[in-house]
Chain A
């Protein structure tokens, strides 16, 4: 039987599955029963290292975050100032990444767009982890009526078509960075809670938990001292992948015209605006798409490397 956390991790690597439950009812049926029946640790498994893929990815992410943070003090054109150069200039000597339709500097807009993407990515998943994570641990540890009720609510959210939920939320709240973060964050709560719950379930069955309990430790202490640290590791790696999904989700919202409002630069918005001119000036879409691509790739690689480094099967013992 495949191990729960693998399934979940890989399920979460595609935005379309954002509405999917990574562990579904199977886990509920089987979790109490097969948490014990987890695969035996791999025979002769080598100790994994964080390979070059990890470090390159982390460097790229670090670079993006750094540039995003320093944007206001960098010697770049103001991102929203029109006609700093002739419109639709391809990348070249004067404008490293070219200018867009309104003559705005693409390099500057991409750096400022990184601010949007990083804020959306980290904050929305942060909300998801905070709320969804808490709910997931409670549901996973306490099980019974409370656990079932929480999972029932999560089930309702998961059964709701993601698109409609997202559209309705943004339309209702209005378009701003804060609301995009809120909407994506809210939508991520249910899938994240599922994953963390499954993870918690696995650990709740472990001997160290029952040992702790027989020593008289209160539930709260067990949760924070024993379970949380163990759940945190796979969550970290999965969380990075989730950030990548959130970034792409902002792009999808831009496609519908529901992301941050103009003239704020966002990668998704730039890709969408350049889409119509693809035949004439492909770089308008492809440059921000490439940056988004590299960033999402980096998050995926980093998350995946962390996952195999912290291989849960080994630490499960």
Chain B
């Protein structure tokens, strides 16, 4: 299943597996070949030249940031031809990247973005603030990206031709986060007027699009005038969409591709005993990860009754599900924030597995609604093999507690539509991997919960004024401790409201031939260590080289 909307660069520290220097503690690591690593050892010099072929999990629609949705694969492709204004550093903070500085005023209502000097697009045009202004305004008008940045009041040119001024409606402390992702990629406004603009990217990135045959391959060659001197190392990169993860794994084992990313724990298992392959995953991530859960429609019966929702949580043996479906590899989830390294995670009292308690709650439910009212509803999922196994297992588990569940298989395109319209009871879902919880505003705010039939971005239709207040605090408070407390409260609210039955965290793996180096250990232009690991399967190709 394609992962849901993600912003770029969630902060994570890779669990370097099976190498002596790993200090990721006792976390169950995935297998990897011994010795060698995809980092460049401190005394190794990157070799320029060569080519890398990467297998990705989906095809992208195009390269226009205002019109084409960039999920992980989208970001992977886009980061070859574009650069974002900002990016995360290894310190879990946002650093300017293409921008030289991003500074707020005292009340966080006016942000000043200053570009680096002497930047050029690949068509020769210089990059000025006019481009940034045009880009951001296009995003504001875009049906795709506008909603996420609707808190922007205006974007105007600043005092010189490198400066842009962004004014926001409310104090917006985490605003720079949005500039690390889709909204932050700087592209030439000429793409907006080109009817085939999404196929002709014009950016400042390390590579230049050479050839794109959708469904087959994407080839980009080195940008000789890249603003980071000495980069990229590679002469060209090629991406091949291979949707079936087992086919992708076989391709790496067979040597057809050099590197792959995968959100399927199967990959870890498949490649465990393959020699010549290194694997990195974001198991011990120090930041946000996407969670896998069952989303409940709190807007209609029977799941509008919190007793039943809590019963479901108690009836779910997450460890067993994780072990059976995902080989026990990913971490178990108990809330919207990564429980390994997210600063916003804390104990919330989310129900653990307790079948007795579940049965008691079901009895309570039946008493309230009539003894013969055995709770019954539909559990929906998409058509992948793994999802079907998952729902079969959940059906049995919940059946043990006395809850009757029928399974409904839904196609992907209908799936999202049904979720939007509230035409579902319970759906398996993956989300909340936003690097900063502020971006989760859209999904959790009660103003976004519409009745059934109307499109609502708060899919679970959970309306909780405390959560609304916490979201506002998180957005507007400049004190990190206050923000953290607010988000931790949201997680606590979820633990009692149970609009989501948590299962496990999405695990991303990047696997590569041993000759591919440089995925880790690089430095940001401002000298700070860059995020030194793939984040959710995404990493920058500009510092990869063939050993």
Query: A273 touches which one: B388, B396, B408 (CB < 8 A)?
Result: B388
B388 contacts A262, CB within 8 Å?
Answer: yes
Q: Does B269 contact A (CB under 8 A)?
A: yes
A272 contacts B385, CB within 8 Å?
Answer: yes
Q: Does B103 contact A (CB under 8 A)?
A: no
Report chain B residues within 8 Å CB of A257.
382-385, 388, 409
Query: A279 touches which one: B270, B391, B396, B409 (CB < 8 A)?
Result: B270
Report chain A residues within 8 Å CB of B384.
257
Report chain B residues within 8 Å CB of A278.
246
Which residues, 159 to 198 on A, are CB-close (under 8 Å) to B? 171, 175
B266 contacts A276, CB within 8 Å?
Answer: yes
A102 contacts B385, CB within 8 Å?
Answer: no
A171 contacts B393, CB within 8 Å?
Answer: no
Q: Does B367 contact A (CB under 8 A)?
A: no
A81 contacts B396, CB within 8 Å?
Answer: yes
Shortest beta-carbon distance, A109 to chain B, in Å?
Answer: 11
Q: Does B411 contact A (CB under 8 A)?
A: yes
Query: B324 touches which one: A102, A261, A272, A273 (CB < 8 A)?
Result: A102
A263-B395, A279-B270 known; A273 vs B246 contact (CB < 8 Å): no
Q: Does B407 contact A (CB under 8 A)?
A: yes
B393 contacts A276, CB within 8 Å?
Answer: no
B392 contacts A276, CB within 8 Å?
Answer: no
Shortest beta-carbon distance, A20 to chain B, in Å?
Answer: 26
Report chain A residues within 8 Å CB of B269.
280
Q: Does A258 contact B (CB under 8 A)?
A: yes
A273-B388, A278-B246 known; A256 vs B395 contact (CB < 8 Å): no
Cα distance A278–B270 when bound, in Å? 10
Report chain B residues within 8 Å CB of A262.
388-389, 391-392, 407, 409
Q: Is chain A's interface secondary structure helix, strand, loop, or mixed overall?
A: loop
Shortest beta-carbon distance, B347 to chain A, in Å?
Answer: 30
A261-B408, A276-B266 known; A80 vs B396 contact (CB < 8 Å): yes
Q: Is chain B's interface secondary structure helix, strand, loop, or mixed overall?
A: helix
Report chain A residues within 8 Å CB of B388.
257, 262, 269, 273
B393 contacts A102, CB within 8 Å?
Answer: yes
Report chain A residues within 8 Å CB of B270.
279
Report chain B residues within 8 Å CB of A272.
385
Report chain B residues within 8 Å CB of A273.
385, 388-389
- Bitwise, A261-278 to B at CB < 8 A (1) or not (0) is 111000001001101111
Cα distance A276–B325 when bound, in Å? 12
Shortest beta-carbon distance, B419 to chain A, in Å?
Answer: 18
Q: Does A226 contact B (CB under 8 A)?
A: no
Report chain B residues within 8 Å CB of A256.
383
Cα distance A297–B258 when bound, in Å? 41
Cα distance A103–B324 when bound, in Å? 9
Cα distance A257–B324 when bound, in Å? 21
Report chain A residues within 8 Å CB of B246.
275-276, 278
B264's nearest neighbour on chain A, judged by CB, is A276
Report chain A residues within 8 Å CB of B391.
262
Report chain B residues within 8 Å CB of A276.
245-246, 266, 385-386
Report chain A residues within 8 Å CB of B395.
263
Cα distance A145–B411 when bound, in Å? 42
Q: Does A85 contact B (CB under 8 A)?
A: no
Q: Does A82 contact B (CB under 8 A)?
A: yes
Considering residues A171, A272, A276, which has the most beta carbons from chain B within 10 angstroms of its beta carbon? A276
- Bitwise, A247-263 to B at CB < 8 A (1) or not (0) is 00000000011100111
A279's nearest neighbour on chain B, judged by CB, is B270
Which residues, 221 to 261 on A, are CB-close (under 8 Å) to B? 256-258, 261
Q: Does A311 contact B (CB under 8 A)?
A: no
Query: B411 touches which one: A171, A263, A277, A280 (CB < 8 A)?
Result: A171
Cα distance A262–B389 when bound, in Å? 8
B383 contacts A258, CB within 8 Å?
Answer: yes
Cα distance A101–B324 when bound, in Å? 7
Cα distance A263–B391 when bound, in Å? 8
Q: Does A147 contact B (CB under 8 A)?
A: no
A256-B383, A257-B409, A263-B407 known; A102 vs B392 contact (CB < 8 Å): yes
Shortest beta-carbon distance, A180 to chain B, in Å?
Answer: 12
Which residues of A does B touch, CB under 8 Å? 80-82, 87, 101-103, 171, 175, 256-258, 261-263, 269, 272-273, 275-280
Instruction: A82-B392, A276-B266 are known; give 7 further A-B pairs, CB within 8 A.
Output: A102-B324, A175-B409, A257-B383, A262-B407, A276-B246, A276-B385, A276-B386
A-B contact pairs, 27 of them (CB 8 A): A80-B392, A81-B396, A82-B392, A82-B396, A101-B325, A102-B392, A102-B393, A171-B411, A257-B384, A257-B409, A258-B383, A258-B409, A261-B409, A262-B388, A262-B389, A262-B391, A262-B407, A262-B409, A269-B388, A273-B388, A276-B245, A276-B246, A276-B385, A276-B386, A277-B266, A278-B246, A280-B269
